[in-house]
Structure 1
Amino acid sequence: MPVAQTGLTAQKKWPLSQAIKWLAIGLLACLTGYLIVLMYAQGEYLFAVMALILSSTGLYIYGNRRAYSWRYVYPGLAGMSLFVLFPLICTIAIAFTNYSSTNQLTFERAQSVLMGREFQGGKALNFALYPAGEQWQLALSSPDSSETLVSPPFAFNAAAPQTLEMTPKPLPNGEKAGLRIITQNRQALARLMARLPDGTTLRMSSLRQFSGTQPLYQLNKENQQLTDAQTGVVYRPNMESGFYQAINPQGEWQAEKLSPGFTVGIGWGNFLRVLHDEGIQKPFLSIFVWTIVFALLTVVLTVAVGMVLACVVQWEELKGKAAYRILLILPYAVPAFISILIFKGLFNQSFGEINLMLDALFGIKPSWFSDPWTAKSMIIIVNTWLGYPYMMILCMGLLKAIPDDLYEASAMDGATPMQNFFRITLPLLIKPLTPLMIASFAFNFNNFVLIQLLTNGGPDMLGTTTPAGHTDLLVSYTYRIAFEGGGGQDFGLAAAIATLIFLLVGALAIVNLKASRMKFD
């Protein structure tokens, strides 16, 4: 009997739990659907598609018993999709557009901004403000007429526009407001619109006048052309350049463009600029070669210094090995950005300790930040200092795995320490270090922090279309194009270069995987 009651109770509770579960799933589905519609309405199509895919997949997995095993995998896959794949897709998509600081808006938004521009035209009347209790009255008058137009009492409101109906009346009693009050409430006065008896509307055009305003451009909805109401110049949207561009009576494009522009797809244009524009091609190739050389030299030097120091501190006859280990590992314990800023002061050409010492010993003061070759040498020196402790720690661990019998046998054969290093230690260390060296190469290939804090890419190259420096890496060069461009921040070109960097780093990752497979096979 108790067993039957327990089963009955379970049957009664099961539908309620299921109802709560599906109610929660339904509410979550409604919420995500609402957010997706909002994103789509705001023109964020990629975000809307990504949210739709992730939310629908998650709701299916957690609402279907047959997909139970995917519940543990889904959070990781969703995170990878959201924080890795989605930014990558967005970057690649931007690389095929003219997206920049001058072409950020959609076509509809850019057209709306242009249609909102006005110019002053028509009559201009002097205005004055008169107190009306705790409120104010606006009075308009013309120098050519004695008639005055007065508004009903109103309160200043900078948050919302107000329309005042002006009627012919004598000037209100009281002392008119001074320039100080007008200046303090200028933002609220700018939101006022004075409607005259004939229907004309005036806005504040200066601290003493209200003038008529008219739309600057007139839109032809059939062909989306804009006509300047002042000059009569006709502008047509150029879907190749992403601007409203002037045309002559024959319909030919002229040089004049209206800003802001709008984002359009340009296909492989940004990638072709890298290949064909000499102002981009030359610095890109130079920076590409320097990036590879920098990464290779850094890996070689850090491994060499780390390996040698690991062998030294592991030497049994060395006294005070613990103290040496702590001192040599200290650069790894100090945050990298602090070390970089300290080295920036040490290498100062006029007051840095390094130049003071070199001047005292050899009578030279290298131009560490203005000469390209010395600047590159400085970067390699600093990065070697920052990177060798990591390699030294790895080598210290690997050295303990080398059997002592090998060194004992070599000692019986009369081998020297140098022969032991090159014939035993180095071959046995270099193979397990190979995947780590490839990973270090990939890291230094994108070592943005070092370049940005130490030299900021300088000294700058001359005669380039984009901002570029002799010590720039591809990643810092991309950053400067995106955020420091003198002719406008070119996000499309920066995204194209970032895509190329991704392909290069992806190739390095494949090599790393193959090297790791060879190691463990």
Structure 2
Amino acid sequence: MSSMTVQSEGSKKRQRRRQENRKKDSHATSWRPGFVVKLILMALVNALGIYIIFTAFGQGSWLLGGLMVVLLLFIDWVYFSKRTLALKYLTPGLVFLLVFQAFTIVYTGYIAFTNYGHQHTLDKPKAINALLLQNNFKRVEGSPQYPLMLVQKDGELGFAVIADDELQVGTAEQPLEPADGEVADGRIVSVDGWDSLTGADITARQQEIIQLRVPLTDDPEDGSIGTQTGTTAFQFTSSLTYDDERDAMINNDTGDIYYANDETGFFETEEGTNLGVGWRVNVGFDNFVQGFSDSRYAQPFFSVLIWNVIFAAMSVLTTFILGMVLAMVMNDERMKGRRIYRTIMLLPYAFPSFMTAFLFAGLMNARYGFFNEMLGTAIPWLTDPTMAKVSVILVNLWMGFPYMFLIVTGALQSIPGDIVEAAKIDGASTFQVWRNVTLPQLMISLTPLLISSFAFNFNNFNLIYMLNGGGPSMADASVPVGHTDILISMVYKIAGLTGEALPNYGLAAAMSLVIFLIVGSVSLYSFRKSNAFEGLGS
């Protein structure tokens, strides 16, 4: 009994010593240079995360702010816990995957089911404020005049005025607030932190100046100030009033009542007249139905889809064939200067793709292009619908074959030489060796890369847009779509980013999801048919 007690006391002493040693070790190692560097990096990460959180909450984006809080807490737990060694290496990739892939896809999906676009870029509270503050203003009779200076900061226009014997400055989004500056003889000379507009600036921005309304306070009912001369400001008030109980806008001049319609995202009268500013609402599958049933979009959509598939397939086929031929020629040991030739072959790949497209756009100019001057003819490289498609494939061949040349060269050098020698000993010809030995070995390793190349070319926006903007235009299309447009460039135009059409981000997001599903389905099917998954896993 006594021996057991002694052993128990001894084990307790050893346990206490181990704990003390661990404490000493942790205390001694906790402030090593590596830990200090980690602490500094995590402080920077947390500072950035807190900034994003406060910005999101400040703009009313509670979902984004909440998700950022969870993400920041997760990152802190991973890098300050001793039990998450594997996650320390996986977390950066997971964070970038969530931010740049998962979030983008989810947000695009959300936009696809809304009317987000022209006149519907705001949420409802901001749309109400916009209607009250920026539209339907009239000058208040007998309102005082304010000495005015037109100022700007980072391109944003503002008013600097003398109100209640005090220098104040504000913008369309920021009500008037006291500011420091210089005032002489009742005239504003300068405003600290702001630049005064020159005569040329005033002339160039005249319409913007006349339309600008700067709120007097945070309360829209207090009105705003505006100007018609650029030197004197007057108080303006909105002719609209928002009735919270009826959820309606009332025109104080005419008595018209505009009720909120949560189906269209507008304030509308009973006759159907609406105010110019709306808000985002859920429209269900309307964008998808419009994209495939509205003849304005359906007719060019299917034409563009067919061309898109042909373009992606021909791009992969032509670049692969040319790259493979060149790689096999330069893989022959009898060829001298192979390193120099290989370097030359990679030069088109090293040149920025958008610059290459710009360069060929000039070379293929129908009137002044180098190609036509050299040939002494007038080939419509980019103006004829058929020739433009051929030109796009040829330019993509120039840009894409170095990549195929590079990967085929690597694959050829990984093929065991004894297999090729055995085939030759058995009497196989050069073509039979290539057909039955070299090509199957290449396809085992290159099939996943060819599939990814197809997906890339399916969305090769840079080439299409930079070469000829998707032109020439389709004469029978009521939307701005060209004969060489692919789906992604068509979506870009429908979104209104080129200025050729009114913005319709909801419809563009819906069509982007369709593109995502098409590319994903084709890639998944190709992987399964080629047994690429099994090859990668073995």
Deviations 1:464-492 (A, max 9, x none): 45432211111222222221254421111
Match of 2:107 in 1: 90
Q: Is the partner of 1:265 in helix, strand or coil? A: coil
Contact 2:146–2:234 (8 Å) recurs in 1: no
Q: 1:425–1:102: structure 2 CA closer, same or farther, 3 Å change rule?
A: same
Deviation, 1:280, is: 0.7
Aligned counterparts of 1:190 and 1:344: Cα–Cα separation in 2? 45
Identify the match of residue 397 of structure 2 among 374, 378, 384.
384
Match for residue 322 of structure 2?
305
Q: Where does the alignment leave 5 or more consecutive residues of structure 2 unmatched?
A: 1-13, 148-161, 179-184, 188-195, 217-221
Q: Taking structure 1 as reference, are residues 517 and 17 closer, same or farther at Cα in structure 2, changes over 3 Å only?
A: closer
Equivalents in 1 of 2:215, 2:226: separation in Å?
A: 7
Partners of 2:146 and 2:233 within 8 A in 1: no
TM-score, length-normalised on structure 2?
A: 0.73
Task: Give 3-state SS (helix, strand or coil) of 1:219's partner.
Answer: strand
Distance, in Å, in 2 between the alignment partners of 1:155 and 1:190 is 19
Tell whether the 8 Å contact from 1:92 to 1:499 is kept in structure 2 after alignment: yes
Q: Is the 8 A contact 2:249 2:258 kept in 1?
A: yes
1:268 maps to 2:281: no
Give the length in aligned residue pairs.
464
* Residue from 230, 240, 248 that aligns with 2:253: 230
Contact 1:439 1:512 in 2 (8 A): no
**Pick aligned residue for 1:217 from 217, 240, 243:** 240
Given candidates 495, 499, 513, the residue that maps to 2:509 is 495
Given the alignment, which residue of 346, 349, 352 partners 1:335? 352
Counterpart of 2:481?
468
When structure 1 is superposed on structure 2, of 506-515 and 9-18 the one drifting more is: 9-18
1:442 lines up with 2:460 in the alignment? no
5+ residue gaps, structure 1, are 130-150, 164-174, 194-199, 249-253
Give the counterpart letter for 1:519 in structure 2: G
Aligned partner of 1:120 among 135, 138, 142: 138
SS state at 1:77 partner: helix
How far apart, in 2, do the equivalents of 1:176 and 1:10 lie? Answer: 74
Cross-structure match for 1:519: 535
Q: Which moved more, 1:206-215 or 1:425-434?
A: 206-215
2:267 counterpart residue number: 244
Q: What is aligned with 2:467? A: 454
Find the aligned partners of 2:93 and 2:186 in 1 and give their Cα distance: 69
Instruction: Find the counterpart in structure 2 of residue 154 from structure 1.
Output: 165
Q: Shift of the alpha carbon at 1:64?
A: 5.8
Find out whether 1:287 has 2:292 as its counterpart.
no
Identity of aligned residues (%): 32
Moved more, 300-309 or 211-220: 211-220
Alignment check: 8 A CA contact 1:467 1:485 kept: no
1:99 pairs with one of 116, 121, 134: 116
- Find the aligned partners of 2:356 and 2:314 in 1 and give their Cα distance: 20
In structure 2, relative to structure 1, the CA distance for the partners of 1:379 and 1:118 (3 Å cut) is closer
Q: Tell me how far apart the structure 2 counterparts of residues 55 and 192 of structure 1 sit (CA, whole Å).
A: 37
1:372 aligns with 385
Query: For the structure 1 residues 52 and 407, does the alpha-carbon distance in structure 2 shift closer, same or farther, using more than 3 Å as the test?
Result: closer
Q: Do 2:143 and 2:234's aligned partners in 1 also have CA atoms closer than 8 Å?
A: yes
**Alignment TM-score, normalising by the size of structure 1:** 0.75
Kept in 1: contact 2:214–2:224 (CA 8 A): no
How far is 1:266 from its partner? 0.7
User: Residue 504 of structure 1 aligns with which residue?
Assistant: 518
Write out per-residue CA displacement over residues 280-304 of structure 1, whole angstroms, 9 at most, x where no aligned residue: 1111111111111101001111111
Q: 2:29 and 2:418 mapped to 1: Cα distance?
A: 68
- Give the counterpart letter for 1:105 in structure 2: L
Report which of the two structures shows the higher radius of gyration computed on alpha carbons. 1
